[in-house]
Amino acid sequence: MDVEIARSRLTSARVGYLATVTAVARAHVVPCCFALDGDTLYSAVDAKPKSTLDLRRVQNIRSNGAVSLLVDHYDDADWSQLWWVRVDGNGRTADNAVERARAIALQSTKYEQYRALPPPGPVLAVDIDRWRTWP
Amino acid sequence: MDVEIARSRLTSARVGYLATVTAVARAHVVPCCFALDGDTLYSAVDAKPKSTLDLRRVQNIRSNGAVSLLVDHYDDADWSQLWWVRVDGNGRTADNAVERARAIALQSTKYEQYRALPPPGPVLAVDIDRWRTWP
């Protein structure tokens, strides 16, 4: 897959699958909304109902920065149309106010839901160091 | 989410997102086809083009059995309809011939593509020890 196609597919995907590793080296995966800014990906912890804003994904990244985020296309009727794009990188929380505001603005541009209700929780940032694509 | 609803949603989902952990504790995530059999989930390495049948996911499970598999529903227009179901468990390869045949039969029932071309690669088995659902 051409790198520009990969970037376009990642940019426009509405949902990604964020994998992290717990402090005891177990796998964790959640769907998330996100926005891409160059080689940094942002995913704000939003107002969808959760038990706490201090989520497992945030705890995991504090103890192990390894993050992998996947987007894909599945078509049950035609497997020749399938593809996925995965980015691996280092996760952190965007605690700097300027970066946080920029990340939320990017996500609000992409998702109209965030315009009415900006995400109240931490913003995860992933500094991408590797792209993988299939096929 | 009711446990029977969770089981039904996992059973009928066409694609899952399989997270594993590499030998150096990095996160890895791939989409996969799968079938559920009680509290064991099977995902055969199929004939879709890959660089090798000895995939990273198999290597990872050999060094760290922790597996997390997610299925979800995303609806861009109505976030009140979103849900996900995640199962965590211990991954292994189904090397016993009887279990392997059963796993492939289950996936061939679910995916017509496997009836014409049975999966040639290893069959991953995940013995589920935890269910998580949202909302």
CATH value at residue B83? 2.30.110.10
Among B68, B74, B135, select the one facing A27 at the smallest CB separation: B68
Average pLDDT for residues A81-92, to the nearest whole number? 97
**For residue range B17-58, what is the model confidence (pLDDT) as tens digits?**
999 999 999 999 999 999 999 999 999 987 777 766 668 899
Q: In terms of residue numbers, what domain contains A102?
A: 3-134
Domain count of the fold of chain B: 1
Which residues in chain A are closer than 8 Å to B76, comparing Cβ atoms?
14
Average pLDDT for residues B71-99, to the nearest whole number? 95
pLDDT at B108: 95
Percent of chain A with pLDDT over 90: 83
CB-count burial class (<10 Å; 0-12, 13-18, 19+) for A109: exposed
Average pLDDT for residues B111-116, to the nearest whole number? 91
State how far the Cα of A17 lies from the Cα of A127, in Å rounded to an integer.
16
pLDDT at B53: 61
- Residue A7 banded pLDDT, cuts 50, 70, 90: very high
Judge whether B1 is closer than 8 Å to chain A, CB to CB.
no
CB contact under 8 A, A31 and B74: yes
State how far the Cα of A85 lies from the Cα of A90, in Å rounded to an integer.
17
Give the alpha-carbon dihedral of A118, A120, A126, A127, to 10 degrees. 70
Mean pLDDT check: name the lowest of A69-73, A116-120, A131-135, B130-134.
Answer: A116-120
pLDDT at A119: 85
Judge whether B69 is closer than 8 Å to chain A, CB to CB.
yes
**For residue range A24-55, what is the model confidence (pLDDT) as tens digits?**
999 999 999 999 999 999 999 877 777 666 68
pTM over 0.80: yes
